[in-house]
Structure 1
Amino acid sequence: MNHVLCGLAANTALPSKLVDRLIAVADADIAADLACRADLSHDQAVVLVSRVEESAVRLAYKGRLTAADIDPAAQPHAALALLNDRARSPEWARLLAADPVVERREKLAACSGLPSDVVEKLAADSDIRVVAELALWTTPEVAARLAGHPHAEVRRAVAANEATPQNVLAALITGEGLAPALQCLVCDREETPFVHDQQCPRLDCDLLPGASCDGTHESAMHDMQEAALRNPATPTEAVVGFADHPSMLLRWALAARPDLPSEVCRRLAVDPTPGVRADLAENPAIDDALIRVLASDRGQDVQRRLAHNPHVPLDVLTRLAGTTRIGATLLPRIAAASPVEVEELAQSPNAAARMLLAQRRDLPAEIRDALATDPDARVVKSIAAHPGLSEAQLRTMVDRHGVRVVTKVAANPDATPALLEDLARHEPSVQKAFRAVARHRNATAPALFACLEDKQARPVAAGHPALPPPVIVELLTDADWQVVEAAAANPSLPLAVMSDLVP
């Protein structure tokens, strides 16, 4: 791979004439970057496809090619991209439905708006993967018909299709009104009864670990039920009975549904599997009483997930914040807090509550400024990246809290060039801060020089347009290929150098 040319292909300052020259020598790697250029013309896209056929798919998805530019027989992947995106060519669909390559027919089956004769052909395909893919994306009418397909893999796909009618999903999950499936992926290949080895040594085997069939296709039917439980279109009355199912995976799938009755939620709240209770904890279907019960649940991840529930009361949330590693994220309940609640959180004696609020980036100036002077470093770290803070406020944060806030201060969109230079030279140094400085639009050459000394920040800094051109040129021969590509993609790379680099 020529990393210099790949970088140049992504360089936004590369003139159109040099793009033409690069297209003329492009390989698959260079073409991948060229295809992503916002300024690539239609004519250039056509020439690029003639040079590197693989680029046609990306260009088709990006709208750079039209049906007139594609020969579906010679460029089936590009034709599929256009069919999947916007083109509606019955002739192309019929041609691709007869393609000898299974993977292409499978991709075609996922396209919408296919002619009815093509749908019928795909529904009768000799490869079950094609039929299953059709079942996953097809219309309600076709999905309803495929629900009775003799192969369990097709039924599993119908169960996952959100367009499948509710009564059909109910029938799939209960088995009522449908003839039993006759085949599954396991009994297609193995004599039954068979249980697939969890540590299967066969390199060509693609059966899932533990897949089994004793003649009833039990693992396939289990997967079908799980798909239906995860399908929001499956009616509530068809799923509630799974709250006590012996399969942990089915109870787990049920716990995330937002349409659960309160009685089902209460049963899942005492499930022996922590993961089930954790999914339930984040589910907006649970009521205030159950939220307070789960707030005391010490099962793995239950309390953290509860903190992400949009309906968690603020008093519960602030208690959770003091005992649970939530991370630097804006929680849904905090984002939805009313102005009165924002005031209350800002004045809370609980630093954890103030820290959660500080993650918002739309705070009134007076609250933002008050949090910027908070005595707790965790609160200041959370507010440090809030827009609107002055250089003096940001410097005061660093003076008071040092390395604990340096990275977040460096990420503030209003950090000044002078401040960024000082942060890049901060002692002791903070490695993550180098990357934040290197990404900052206000970073200056002196600040970037310091970032170049850090291994992880070096590729980021190499692409910053504030670097002096001689330094960028020097980085084109760096030992790290990521640095080379970033330097070649730097829009401040001199035009004369670009011209010399392109064959």
Structure 2
Amino acid sequence: MSHRPRTAEAIWLAADLPARRLAGVALNPIAGTDVLLRLLACDSAAVRMTLCRDRDLPEEVVDAVITHPDHRTRSFFAANPHIDPAQRARLVDDPHWLVRAWLGRGPGFSHEPSKLPEHTVVRILTTYDPEHLGTLYRQVPRSARWTFPSHPEPKVRDYACNWWSELTPQEQSALLTDPDEGVREHALRAGRHLDPEYVERELPDRSCHARTHLLMYGALSRRVVEQVLAAPVGREDLAMIAGNPSLPLDVLALLARDPDPRVRENAAGRPELAVEQRQALANDSDVAVRTRISVHPALTEEERSAIDYQVSSDETFARSHIPASMYDPAQSRHHALSGHPPLRRRAAYDPSLPPDLVARLSCDSDLGVRVLLAQNHPQAPAGLLLRSFLEYTGRERWSLTTRPNFPTEELAGYAEAADPMVRRLALLSSQTPSATVDRLSADPDPDVRADAARHPRLSLRRLIELLDDEELAYKAAANPALPPPMLHRLVAALDGQA
């Protein structure tokens, strides 16, 4: 194999037009196993990267990737988010560190976490160097949380300390007295922020991440609190301790009256606030403080409605990665039935909401409630998904089109929309006329052009033109309307056979 650039971006920038065409062929759904195997054997790193990283693969091709002589090719596959994690797990004992490192890192954060088999995670923990574990935590199945604390392998028990706050007191106690010294030390470190003496001893005297963590989550001794009150190191110190559950109630009362609205806002989130403190914050001069206190669990619906709060529709309404098991059904129902939009937004995150609440929140008057429900519930209705897409213009808007019930037909009329992202809707439909698709392939917006280049109703004339377009050849070669003889000629040309 020839020299390969190190990063994915560099690999793609170094690819010439023929290689980019072949990379498109690698993603073409009509490309059979024979074509994919030929692409796997070619000398272009860009083609092999696309093939191994950016699509699902037939079993025969997977077998060939696993045994491919080039370690970088195997590393592409190790991070493939489209493949069954059990197939990626076959690389767990790969001889090259780069492959193992990518398996430990897994797919990037733009993809849903892909859980590896539990026995594979155990193998990684017990054989890999720590620096190769990457973001392994995103790939650990939930079941491991219950088995790892008592696992016979010390390194596995050690890893269980990473989710210390989720462990039972019995599990924490067992790890603190573990027969393995390393496990005991990790357990001690994991829980030491709950020791006021440790926090007092180790609190940095300068603004830094460690100080922030301890002030927000550590057990604060009276001495530490008085030091922060008397001589805060940074302007955020008081706001940090205001939200700390260990803060003494008399100090909480003091900070609830602090001149800095950021401090008062954090204090407003504390459940221990007395009635008079809640009333004062409900009438605070700062709208962020009033909005924060408006969701306090001790307030009645009447008290919430009397607060001059503010909710914004300019926020990011996105997917939550909190598993359904972490939501309390009774609390979600209570929030969904509230007259308070911020509480209904909390309910809309719950992917296990029952049908009656899904129907209710689908018609909610608040944009945030509707969009969050559309983004997070697997049974969000088609009408809600389309309405949410048309009304919401914030980040992760396009992810709405990937939800299970998003309507993909009868969208051709959106081809004339002023908003380029709405024009893209027309290219989700198989009913959009060829002439419209051809026109959109020359759209001013690059995403619209790219979608049109892959649309199956793109005319053959325009498709052939785009195969020579530096920008769109990659997309055009992935178009399932590409005639098979032309696809095979592209592959043969790279091999010097045509």
User: What pairs up with 1:122-137 in 2 under 5 angstroms?
Assistant: none
| Equivalent position of 1:8 in the other structure | 25
| Equivalent position of 1:487 in the other structure | 476
Query: Given that residues 255 and 279 in structure 1 are in contact (C-alpha distance below 8 angstroms), is that contact kept between their aligned partners in structure 2?
Result: yes
Determine whether 1:421 maps to 2:412: yes
| Aligned mate of 1:38, from 46, 56, 61 | 56
CA distance in 2, matches of 1:167, 1:377: 40
Cα 1:46–1:384, aligned 2, differ >3 Å: closer, same or farther?
closer
| Equivalent position of 1:435 in the other structure | 424
| Equivalent position of 2:42 in the other structure | 25
| Equivalent position of 1:325 in the other structure | 312
CA distance in 1, matches of 2:91, 2:335: 57
Cα 1:421–1:45, aligned 2, differ >3 Å: closer, same or farther?
same
Question: What's the CA shift string for 1:365-386, capped at 9, x where partnerless?
Answer: 98679x59x8x99999999996
Determine whether 1:475 maps to 2:461: no
CA distance in 2, matches of 1:433, 1:494: 29
TM-fit CA distance, 1:173: 1.0
Question: How big is the alpha-carbon RMSD for the aligned residues of Structure 1 and Structure 2?
Answer: 5.8
Amino acid corresponding to residue 196 of structure 2 in structure 1: A
| Equivalent position of 1:142 in the other structure | 182
Cα 1:357–1:284, aligned 2, differ >3 Å: closer, same or farther?
closer
CA distance in 2, matches of 1:353, 1:30: 47
| Aligned mate of 2:232, from 222, 246, 252 | 246
Determine whether 1:387 maps to 2:381: yes
Cα 1:310–1:258, aligned 2, differ >3 Å: closer, same or farther?
farther
Cα 1:367–1:18, aligned 2, differ >3 Å: closer, same or farther?
same
Q: TM-score, normalised to structure 2's length?
A: 0.55
| Equivalent position of 1:70 in the other structure | 94
Amino acid corresponding to residue 41 of structure 1 in structure 2: V
Percent identical pairs in the alignment equals: 17
Could you say which structure has the larger radius of gyration? Answer: 1
CA distance in 2, matches of 1:404, 1:83: 39
| Equivalent position of 1:461 in the other structure | 451
Determine whether 1:225 maps to 2:242: no
Cα 1:365–1:42, aligned 2, differ >3 Å: closer, same or farther?
closer
CA distance in 2, matches of 1:358, 1:87: 36
User: What pairs up with 1:25-104 in 2 under 5 angstroms?
Assistant: 25=42, 27-36=44-53, 37-39=55-57, 40-47=61-68, 49-50=70-71, 52=73, 54-55=75-76, 58=79, 62=85, 63-64=87-88, 66=90, 70-71=94-95, 75-80=96-101, 86=121, 88=123
Alignment gaps of 5+ in structure 2? 1-11, 106-119, 137-147, 158-174, 321-326
Alignment gaps of 5+ in structure 1? 97-104, 120-138, 146-157, 181-216, 398-402
- Give 3-state SS (helix, strand or coil) of 1:424's partner: helix
| Aligned mate of 1:170, from 182, 196, 202 | 196
TM-fit CA distance, 1:164: 2.0
Q: TM-score, normalised to structure 1's length?
A: 0.55
Amino acid corresponding to residue 462 of structure 1 in structure 2: A
- Give 3-state SS (helix, strand or coil) of 1:467's partner: coil
Question: What's the CA shift string for 1:452-488, capped at 9, x where partnerless?
Answer: 4240541452365443362444434445x3x444433
- Give 3-state SS (helix, strand or coil) of 1:47's partner: coil
